[in-house]
Amino acid sequence: MPELQRLDARHAPALLRFERENRAFFARSVPDRGDDYFTGFAARHAALLAEQSAGLIHFHVLVDDDGAVLGRFNLVDVADGGAELGFRVAERATGRGVATGGVRRVCDLARDEYGLRRLVASAAVENAGSLGVLRRTGFTPVGDVVLDGRPGLRHLRELTD
């Protein structure tokens, strides 16, 4: 059964493999990370772990029994009781409730472990999968946004339930 784990240094190889294998799939619905992301991955990973240690972000990976990353669920811009949620799931894991389950678990962690009271998340209008995940997990649309030139919807979830 997949396990949600807080990102740490041991995840680096599997996370890089996940990003490489799913790069084209992700680029269909979210902005591409660019080549620099992959060439500078080790330094970037270390910097993110330092930010996480400082409490500025909370990154999580969903790993299968073999240690392969099925998805990532990130809380960024942590401040004043809130954060922004971002998530992505491997193409091979879509359509099986993996994203919905991961978002639910991260929302619980945000409230119970990190003391957050609200999360915001955005998805492109054309990204029906992510929009569905947000609605199934209690997020409510609150306005329009532009995501890398694409129309999107901003969502809010209060974590007091």
CATH classification at residue 40:
3.40.630.30
Cβ neighbours of residue 12 under 8 Å, at least 6 residues apart? 41, 42, 45
pLDDT in tens, 77-127: 999 999 999 999 999 999 999 999 999 999 999 999 999 999 999 999 999
Three-class secondary structure of residue 59 per DSSP: strand
Quick check: 59 and 78 in contact, CB under 8 A? no
- Side-chain half-sphere exposure of 67, counting CA atoms within 13 A: 7
pTM: 0.93
**Tokens encoding 116:** 């957050």
Give me the domain span that covers residue 50.
3-158
pLDDT tens per residue across span 130-152 = 999 999 999 999 999 998 888 99
User: How many domains are contained in the chain?
Assistant: 1
